[in-house]
Amino acid sequence: MIVRDTENNWHLNPIDVATLVAVGSLAMLTALVRRQLGQNAVWLAGIFMTLVVANLLFARFAPRARWIRIAHDFFPIVVIIVVFSSISPLIDVVRPDRWDGYFSQVDSAYFPGLVAVWREAFGRPDWFTDLIYLAYVSYYPMPFALAVILYGPSYPREQFDEFAFIIALTFFGSYLGYFLFPTYGPRLPLDQEARVLGGGTISEGIRAFIHVAERTKMDAFPSGHTAVAVVCLRYARWCGRVVTGIYVVLATGVVLATVYLYYHYATDVLAGACLAALCLTMGPRIMPWTEATTWQRFGQEIAMRWRALSPKP
């Protein structure tokens, strides 16, 4: 499902619309709270506007060369990573309150036994903790690998477009949750991680990577790891039994890692699963609204009704 304007040589995908709306909204929000942001407002506005302009340029020149078209189709990966790494100062200004106390109480009230068993699964042997850490970071390549598979000649272009749109919707939906319910999660202090979490060299290396890679810390609710893993598992079914089996293992490991590694409350995981269900249900229904023909028909209908209501000479 591709939005094309052959007359003006534009090549817009549904994911472009989602990206432009999301990043454009962040740019406007930055402008609204620029005084509170101080010096951060300049570089945040610069980042968001650069992403918007780059997306539009890719859309404009994608039909001219294959490498530009490929770069355009996978540019949302850059957008998702850059946006996640940039929004922390904006969250702090827009929503200085924190929801950890509330979600911790929800866990204590409704999932006390589950959380305890979850965190102590199999007695937390070091080898198992290493495996869970590997599962946790598999979240990063999961959507990219599936996008590469669906981008191949064996699959219709419509399948890639739908997956790209839904996965972007899932990421942006989780970012919205970070603004609405900024939550740090039950993370452990740095000096306690090795003692409580355990694990070997693999765990230590991944912990160091996460501290550097995940710059936005108020990202517990909803669990983006859970939401993305569930969405990827849904679309892995298009790729056959082998890929589906791999994604079943990876998605299970990702979800298990969320609470086991003290990154999320059980409530966060439930919210992530609900977000995935919402995106999978509503995303395909929203996609037709990204087509140029839809807006052309809408404009034509408005024009016809306006003419009908206008007094005739």
**Based on the structure, what is the number of domains in the chain?**
2
Question: Looking at residue 14, what is its pLDDT?
Answer: 86
Whether the predicted model's global pTM rises above the 0.85 cut: yes
Question: Looking at residue 214, what is its pLDDT?
Answer: 85
Is residue 46 situated within a structural domain? Answer: yes
Average pLDDT per block of 10 residues along the chain, 313 residues long: 46 85 95 93 95 92 90 95 96 94 95 93 94 96 96 93 96 97 94 93 94 89 97 96 96 97 97 97 88 54 58 52
Q: Which of 167, 129, 122, 148 is nearest to 253 (CA)?
A: 129
Same domain, yes or no, for 36 and 144? no
Same domain, yes or no, for 69 and 217? no
Domain boundary among 59, 94, 129: 94
Is residue 79 situated within a structural domain? Answer: yes
Is residue 262 situated within a structural domain? Answer: yes
Same domain, yes or no, for 63 and 107? no
Is residue 45 situated within a structural domain? Answer: yes
Question: Looking at residue 5, what is its pLDDT?
Answer: 44
Domain boundary among 71, 94, 117: 94
Is residue 194 situated within a structural domain? Answer: yes
Bridge partners of 271? none
Identify the domain containing residue 24 by its residue range: 1-94
Same domain, yes or no, for 135 and 9? no
Question: Looking at residue 10, what is its pLDDT?
Answer: 59
Same domain, yes or no, for 184 and 124? yes
Same domain, yes or no, for 137 and 241? yes
Question: Looking at residue 300, what is its pLDDT?
Answer: 52
Same domain, yes or no, for 40 and 165? no
> How many Cα atoms sit within 13 Å of 201 on the Cβ side?
0
Domain boundary among 26, 60, 94: 94
Is residue 43 situated within a structural domain? Answer: yes
187-208 pLDDT per residue, tens = 999 889 999 999 999 999 999 9
